[in-house]
């Protein structure tokens, strides 16, 4: 039954003392009770670990050790997740309200559903009430993948069976392993998806892939690699993927 559905939320964090507390609190505030929070800390040195130790409850799993980057850390979290459904809560993000996981669980009441996702808002780092961009996902159609469509990864929830079948994050990617995974689940996995048409997560601006021109070039190369290896498309899909972001600013 849906009331028995267990949701695992994974947080990978390194030196985010100023924001990780809000991320944890937004998970703890959820009205859906059957939640496992798995937190993988990369041996932070700025007080992050102390914040986590003070605010995580007894039911949470906390691991603090060196890792090989965010995707390695997330894979460690996936290995420890025991929920029927798995999603992420990045250390700079927080849920838009306290009923997000309740909505996710409701969508998974249909046993045929593999994936659930929603909308995302980018907010200012120092003023989270100020919205910078709005990412409205829209309903999924497989043909959209070839036009560069993807759902916001922080809003994505998958049945654990999908991850077990198609794998976690490919750590040969430095920035775009999330896009590669999405193409695997939606493309090769032919995921049956449900769209929740409202904002589920708020993300502070300043993500890893957009911090510098070299990172943007690297992200572009890796996006192209992900498209080609999953048989979704090539340059055309990459161009449309980037152009589609423009409307988010208006």
What confidence category does residue 161 fall into, taking pLDDT thresholds of 50, 70 and 90?
very high
Give which of 68, 67, 66, 61 is closest to 8, Cα–Cα: 61
pLDDT in tens, 201-248: 999 997 554 556 788 889 889 988 998 999 887 787 677 566 666 656
How is residue 85 written in tokens? Answer: 């459904």
pLDDT in tens, 167-202: 999 999 999 999 999 999 999 878 999 999 999 999
Q: By residue range, what is the domain housing residue 110?
A: 2-249
Tokens found for residue 29: 């505030």
Name every residue whose Cβ is closer than 8 Å to that of residue 36 and which is 6 or more positions away in sequence.
Answer: 6, 7, 8, 9, 59, 60, 61, 81, 82, 83
Residue whose C-alpha is closest to residue 157's, from 7, 23, 20: 7
Whole-prediction pTM: 0.91
d(Cα 16, Cα 49) in Å, to the nearest integer?
Answer: 9
Kindly report, residue by residue over 83-126, the tens digit of the pLDDT. 999 999 999 999 999 999 999 999 999 999 999 999 999 999 99
The whole-chain average pLDDT of the chain stands at: 91
Q: Which residues contact 126 (CB under 8 A, 6 or more apart)?
A: none
What CATH number has the domain bearing residue 186? 3.90.550.10
pLDDT of residue 1: 47
pLDDT digits 0-9 by tens, 232-242: 877 876 775 66
Give me the mean pLDDT over the 9-15 stretch: 98
DSSP symbol at 92: T
Q: How many domains does the chain have?
A: 1
Q: Which two tokens stand for residue 191?
A: 């995921």
Instruction: For the chain, report the end-to-end CA distance as a whole number of angstroms.
Output: 41
């Amino acid at each position: 039954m849906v009331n028995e559905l267990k949701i695992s939320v994974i947080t990978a964090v390194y030196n985010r003392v100023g924001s990780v507390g809000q991320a944890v609190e937004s998970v703890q505030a959820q009205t859906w009770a059957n939640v496992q929070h798995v937190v993988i800390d990369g041996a932070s040195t700025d007080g992050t670990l102390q914040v986590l130790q003070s605010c995580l409850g007894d039911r949470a799993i906390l691991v603090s050790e060196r890792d090989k980057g965010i995707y390695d850390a997330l894979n460690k979290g996936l290995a420890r997740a025991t929920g029927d459904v798995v999603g992420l809560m990045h250390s700079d993000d927080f849920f838009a309200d306290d009923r997000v996981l309740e909505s996710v669980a409701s969508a998974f009441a249909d046993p045929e559903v593999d994936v659930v996702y929603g909308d995302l808002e980018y907010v200012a780092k120092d003023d989270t009430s100020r919205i910078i961009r709005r990412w409205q996902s829209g309903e999924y159609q497989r043909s959209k993948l070839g036009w560069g469509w993807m759902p916001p990864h922080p809003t994505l929830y998958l049945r654990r069976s999908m991850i077990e079948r198609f794998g976690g994050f490919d750590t040969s990617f430095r920035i775009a392993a999330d896009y590669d995974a999405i193409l695997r689940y939606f493309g090769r996995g032919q995921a049956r998806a449900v769209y929740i048409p409202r904002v589920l997560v708020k993300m502070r601006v300043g993500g890893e892939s957009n911090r510098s021109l070299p990172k943007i070039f690297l992200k572009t190369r890796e996006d192209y690699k992900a498209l080609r290896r999953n048989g979704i498309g090539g340059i055309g899909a990459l161009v449309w993927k980037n152009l589609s972001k423009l409307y988010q600013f208006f």
